[in-house]
Chain A
Amino acid sequence: MRRILFLILVLFLVSFLTFIIFLKLPATDPARLIAGRQTTPEILAEIRTNLGLDKPWYIQYGRFAKGLVPWPSYFLNEQVYYSYGNFIPVKEELYRRLPVTVALTLGAAVLWLIIGLPIGIVSAIRRRTLADRAGMLFALFGVSAPVFWLGYVMLFVFWFKLGWFPSPGLDIGESIWHAILTGKFILPWVTLSLLFAAFYARMVRGTLIETMSEDYIRSARAKGLSERRVIFKHGLRAALTPVVTMFGLDVGALLGGAIITETIFDLDGVGKYTIDAIYDQDFPVVMGVTIFAAFFIVVANLVVDVLYAVLDPRVRYT
């Protein structure tokens, strides 16, 4: 219960900050955005009244605040959270785009685990061998390569030059499954997962090396367990616990939108929605996606805390 209250408090703070930033920034008047070029002061005033922009700031904020309550009829309620640009409710647009982001995030997450964990494990147990050096070289490349650069290189080489993968972007009305099956997600997955794979490989290597020098590993060997069992049952069990924590937080953060990857590959996900809304100074949308992303992160935190208590018997969940 305390956690739930904490969750709401965090959402409140995030929204308040977002609101303050938009209020203080010399943004274009939303009424002008809606009214278009040809307008009269009367029309502008009417729009302002409709949007509630003529009210004091705390009333304005209050209208948005109601949408923070994580409850179906309140959360991002459609009376307030709709785009100033095309009047589509934020919720509707988010739910339409969410599958794209989820597909991108989960696919990449699986990929970076498949790549990152084995590299980290092999590097740790075959320390200072060729395999370790190769793995860490990969990791160095991965953490050094910026996503925007990597994304364009991928597109240039594998789509434009070699033509191995389809052109970026989903067609209108194309289903997620169709896009996945035709390979449209492969380049985005690789691009997004490389950084994380590299990061996870280094992390797993570090924690596993540390764990393998623990006294209880020596005890495990002393009782005559096979080296395989020592590494996989005793070593990894302890070494992967912090990795699980990290994984939960990373996935939670990415579900709020992988902005750069979605932009490069023209995927209409939550991240692209966010960046477009910021360009258009579409305040309700920015507020909505910010809350939405924050919501994922806070929930991920909650899940990770519970998970940690399950994984580590020394930790009690309160």
Chain B
Amino acid sequence: MAEPLLAVKDLKVHFPTEDGLVKAVDGVSFSIMPGETLGVVGESGSGKSVTFLTVMGLIPPGQARIEGEVVFRGQDLLKLPVEEMRNIRGSQIGMIFQDPMTSLHPFYRVGNQIAEAIQAHRKIDKKEAGDQAIDMLRRVGIPRPDERARQYPHEFSGGMRQRAMIAMALSLNPDLLIADEPTTALDVTVQAQILELIDRLKQEFNTAVIIITHDLGVVAEHCDNIQVMYAGKAVEYGYARDIYYDADHPYTWGLLQSIARVDAPRSERLKPIKGLPPSLIFVPSGCPFHPRCPYVFDRCRTEVPQLLPVDGHHASACHLSLEDKDRIFKQEVMVHQ
């Protein structure tokens, strides 16, 4: 079996605050193979963004207690000196963010911002970096890239800015692209374009991609594997089709049912998950999802469920028996789908 590109093992990221210890990420493990696409799904506060900011080394030192391992191409990024981590950032792992409106510096020309990323890692002159930046803009489908490179971010539309961000993140041909809610701030039509662009570039650059999102609908067709996160933990992991057609965790069921559907009868169109995401300081005992789970029983309140294989690749963290889960999924969730 080939080496995974990135393997995160039992990652914990805890922020000490005045109100108590915020357990933003609390024991997450997963891995991604070269060229693979992983979708990470969860509500706000499920720890998905913090997990990948930690992978990127973008959590300010001293602000959080970080434990576990983040092994990227055989080396633990958490143990790497700051300067070496900086070298990996941008060149081997690229990242794009939720809001392209605010993610580009408003005072610098778009082309220069991309060229700056290239020059941070390659010893080439400004002219050459500028030409490469224009080339990248062309490859992400921006028309008249040479003119566009000389413009400022405010002259770009939201979708164009996200394209520019992608161009910047891919300009050094990284092995891994982390896309943190890349389409959340965009119009629906633009969302599809951006996801298709990521799909196409993934092939072109042979890059592994991690798409972080709160919308299971978004990642459906674009991911090989999906990891569902809740309250700083991974609660289910599997191939995309496992998650869609054979989900094994009540939280995943909730996410599936809350995908908006136009063809369903009005009464059934949207079934929100009841309740609010839990506090990350006072995490519920046992299974963190138990206060919101419609299928809760005694064991859930006391014992933390482990992420255990359901069949081979597919794993979930839930105390319900496989038979029960099968029955509930078929009777209640599939009907809705």
Q: Which residues of A contact B (CB under 8 A)?
A: 214-216, 218-227, 229, 234, 237-238, 241, 311-314
Contact = CB atoms under 8 A, between A and B. Distances in A.
Nearest to B155: A313
A125 B165 CA distance: 26
Interface stretch (B98-106, B206-214, B240-248, B256-264): B98-106
A222 B93 CA distance: 9
B90 A222 contact: yes
Contacts of B97: 215, 218-219, 222
Contacts of A227: 86
Nearest to A314: B154
Contact of A221 (B89, B116, B152): B89
7 contacts: A216-B102, A219-B103, A219-B168, A222-B95, A222-B97, A225-B120, A237-B105
B120 A223 contact: yes
B89 A223 contact: yes
B240 to A, nearest CB: 27
B288 to A, nearest CB: 28
A312 B90 CA distance: 27
Contacts of A229: 120
B56 interface: yes
A244 B207 CA distance: 44
A226 B88 CA distance: 12
Contacts of A216: 102-106
A225 B87 CA distance: 8
A40 B96 CA distance: 88
Contacts of B152: 313-314
Interface string B153-196: 01000000000010011000000000000000000000000000
Nearest to B98: A215
A218 B58 contact: yes
Contacts of B91: 224
Contacts, number: 74
A313 B156 CA distance: 13
A308 to B, nearest CB: 12
Interface residues of B, number: 28
Nearest to A237: B107
Contacts of B154: 313-314
A219 B116 CA distance: 12
A229 B169 CA distance: 18
A135 to B, nearest CB: 19
B121 A224 contact: yes
A129 to B, nearest CB: 11
B304 interface: no
Contact of A238 (B95, B99, B107, B116): B107
A221 B58 contact: yes
Q: Tell which of A218, A226, A237 has the most Cβ of chain B within 10 Å.
A: A218
A234 B153 CA distance: 14
A311 B58 CA distance: 29
B333 interface: no
Which 9 residue pairs spanning A and B have beta carbons closest together?
Answer: A224-B90, A223-B117, A223-B90, A215-B102, A224-B89, A313-B152, A216-B105, A222-B95, A215-B103
B165 A238 contact: no
B106 A234 contact: no
A182 B108 CA distance: 45
A313 B99 CA distance: 20
A45 B169 CA distance: 84
B210 to A, nearest CB: 14
A221 B99 CA distance: 16
Contacts of B165: 219
A143 to B, nearest CB: 28
Contacts of B169: 222-223
Given A224-B121, A225-B120, A314-B152, A219 B88 contact: no
A224 to B, nearest CB: 3
Contacts of B104: 216, 219
Q: Tell which of A238, A311, A313 has the most Cβ of chain B within 10 Å.
A: A313
B105 A234 contact: yes
B87 A224 contact: yes
Contact of B106 (A220, A221, A224, A238): A238
Nearest to B101: A215
Contacts of A226: 86, 120
Contact of A314 (B86, B87, B106, B116): B106
Given A214-B102, A222-B56, A222-B58, A313 B107 contact: yes
